[in-house]
Amino acid sequence: MGTIRKPEEPVIRGKQRRAVYETLRTPSTARRILIEARKTAPSITYQDIRHILRDFERQNISVCLNPEQSTGRLHMLKALLPDNPIASTLIELCSIVDRSRIKLAVLREAARPVYEENKPLTVTQIKKRLRDTYPLALNHAYSALRSLLEGGLVRVAGHTDKRDLNIYAITDLGREVLSFLDQE
């Protein structure tokens, strides 16, 4: 006697294909799919992921959520696709942040509470806090913050007294995008 499956779920044969299929339950980039699929199928390669995704799209199993993007394409099972426009905006913002390691690191840093030195979260402070784990130049941190500001993921929460520098804080939308990207 075999296992009982839902009628809408396709039959997926092969360890690598099943690993990719399970990863597609949430919107994922090819990089994230590769990392997750390697837990089940350690020998899977990026090229395998590309072929499997292409086959899944041809068979109407999965869909690319942002095909116009050249990098950071998000793939998801077609049956689990959300219908509301708010979800598509969230997916687009996740794609923008997930494509850039610097933006992701800066957004994570903006989400952390300021507790060590009780200093306001300025661009310089973000750069200093990322120095050990993710070294970057001040202009890269500023560029990432400007992009996150445009997307509404962070906001200017005030200004410093001494030099009138912007103090940044994460928005609710930024927390939602971060929780989506950090879920495993």
Extents of the domains making up the chain: 1-81, 98-182
Residues 6+ apart with CB under 8 A from 145: 106, 110, 123, 126, 154, 168
37-91: per-residue pLDDT in tens? 999 999 999 999 999 999 999 999 998 887 887 877 888 888 877 666 666 677 7
Say yes or no: domain 98-182 is CATH 2.40.340.10. Answer: no
| Beta-strand relationship, 62-64 and 75-77 | antiparallel
Could you tell me if residue 114 is left (phi over 0), alpha (psi between -120 and 50 degrees) or otherwise beta? beta
Matching fold, domains 1-81 and 98-182: yes
What gap in Å lies between CA 67 and CA 95, rounded to an integer? 11
**Pick from 144, 33, 28, 147: which is nearest to 94 by CA?**
28
Token output for 134: 């993710």
Helices and strands: H and E segment counts in the chain? 8, 4
Please state which of the ranges 22-26, 134-138, 152-156 shows the lowest mean pLDDT.
134-138
**Tens of pLDDT along 158-184?**
888 888 888 888 888 888 888 777 664
Look at residue 4 in the predicted model and tell me its pLDDT: 47
Lowest mean pLDDT among 50-64, 74-88, 94-108, 126-140: 74-88
Q: Is the pLDDT of residue 3 over 60?
A: no
> Architecture of domain 1-81 in CATH?
Orthogonal Bundle (1.10)
CB-count exposure of residue 36 (10 Å: 0-12, 13-18, 19+)? middle
- Mean pLDDT of all residues belonging to the chain: 82
